Amino acid sequence: MMNSAETATWPPKMAVCVGAVILQGEKVLFIRQAAGHSLAGQWSIPWGLVDEGETPEDAALRETYEESRVRAEFDGLLGIQNLSTPGWLAVIFIGHHLAGEPTPDGVETDKAAYFSLAEIDSGQQPIEPWCEWLARRVLTGKYTVIPSAPDNPYHPRQAFL
């Protein structure tokens, strides 16, 4: 049973961010944050907040398209990360390029491109450290994909188990 202090904070609140590691061959999609945004001038994977009523996977596909004009398809869940800001959680999906050329939206992003491991290693571009770490893990095969489980009882809602 919950006491009055616990019920005052129920349900718990957490900001859910989503990100997408999108592969095209041996390259990862990156977007560069435009001036005025939290990571201005740095390259990152496409990411953003889940909107009310939106599933994390739909939000990640939406953010990928909005920030890069790339259409993608997910192969599964890559993982979750507690972010450095308390109360913020990132859900990261992995997928592959379907259509479109990397193009910034001109509002949140000012550049979009695919980077190979060699391009990341060159250090010529300022890449947000966690996104760089994530891309390196994927490009060097140090990851596991959790595929969607279409036989889950909430289908067509996706489950990754």
* Beta strand ranges found along the chain (DSSP E): 15-24, 27-33, 43-44, 47-49, 71-82, 88-99, 109-116
* Cis peptide, bond prior to residue 11, ω within 30 of zero: yes
Percent of the chain with pLDDT over 90: 85
Mean pLDDT of the chain: 93
| Residue that wins the pLDDT comparison between 79 and 2 | 79
pTM for the whole structure: 0.90
As beta bridge partners, residue 99 has 71
DSSP one-letter string for 96-124: EEEE------SSSEEEEEEEEHHHHHTT-
What pLDDT, on a 0 to 100 scale, did the predictor assign at position 38? 87
Query: What is the pLDDT confidence band of residue 8, given thresholds at 50, 70 and 90?
Result: low
pLDDT at 2 over 60: no
- Is 81 a residue whose pLDDT tops 70? yes
Identify the burial level of 131 via C-beta atoms within 10 angstroms of its C-beta, where 0-12 means exposed, 13-18 middle and 19 or more buried. Answer: buried
Show me where the domains of the chain are located.
Answer: 15-139
Q: pLDDT tens digit string along 17-74?
A: 999 999 999 999 999 999 999 899 999 999 999 999 999 999 999 999 999 999 999 9
pLDDT at 78: 97
Gap between the terminal Cα atoms of the chain: 30
Mean pLDDT of 87-113: 97
Tell me which CATH code domain 15-139 carries.
3.90.79.10
Strand partners, 156: none
